[in-house]
A = this chain, B = another copy of it.
Amino acid sequence: MIVEPSTEQIIKEAAKKIFVRKGFAGARMQEIAEEAGINKALLHYYYRSKEKLFEGIFSEIFDHMIGQLKQSVTTDKPLIQKIEDFVDRYISTIEQNPYIPLFIVNEIAQNPDRFVEKIKSKQVFPELAGFFQQMLGEMERGNIREIPPLHLFLNILGLCAFPFIAKPMVKAVSGMDEDTWEMLMKDRKKEVKTFIRRALMA
């Protein structure tokens, strides 16, 4: 049974697409309306303002990413496998939404205060603390090499997310075409996992 999407849903999808590509400052209500196949007035009928529309979109996207992030970290597996699950899941998520990481990082940078409160309520820190404890435990037991957990976490995030954040720059600088890029990314999960494993294993 196929339900056709409500106007509200159509607007949300259109807004998501435009906001994610152009950012809040660069997005135009007119463009969102066109993308949705309606007019500007209707945008304001459903959402009172550009600000409110954006707020809804951003929350949805951010919650989804945080949710993904938590899932891999919360399981009961041994550290190395947990890290590799994290890499697989995180890169898969990004591959499906390649513009998202740059979008999130950018909007928070533009307006950090707006998000501090929202994020606190997400309670991601306890999960991370557990993850870090597990790292420290493995180091004490000599199973992995010494490295401050936060640096290791930054390394993992960076190895996963950076290529997608920097893709337009890398392609421009190297003159790489889209096919070559895709071939490169096809191996990315494997290469990242190998790189991390080598760095951690004594």
Contacts and interface: CB of A to CB of B under 8 A. Distances in A.
Interface of A: 22-26, 66, 99, 102, 104-106, 108-110, 112, 115-116, 119-120, 122, 124-125, 128, 145, 147-148, 150-151, 154-155, 157-159, 161-163, 165-175, 184, 187-188, 191-192, 194-196, 198-200
A150 B180 CA distance: 11
A32 to B, nearest CB: 15
A8 B191 CA distance: 48
A81 B58 CA distance: 43
A166 B109 CA distance: 8
28 contacts: A22-B25, A23-B26, A23-B106, A26-B26, A99-B109, A102-B105, A102-B106, A102-B109, A105-B169, A106-B106, A108-B168, A109-B168, A109-B169, A116-B175, A122-B173, A145-B198, A147-B194, A148-B187, A151-B184, A151-B187, A151-B188, A154-B162, A154-B170, A158-B159, A159-B159, A195-B199, A198-B200, A199-B199
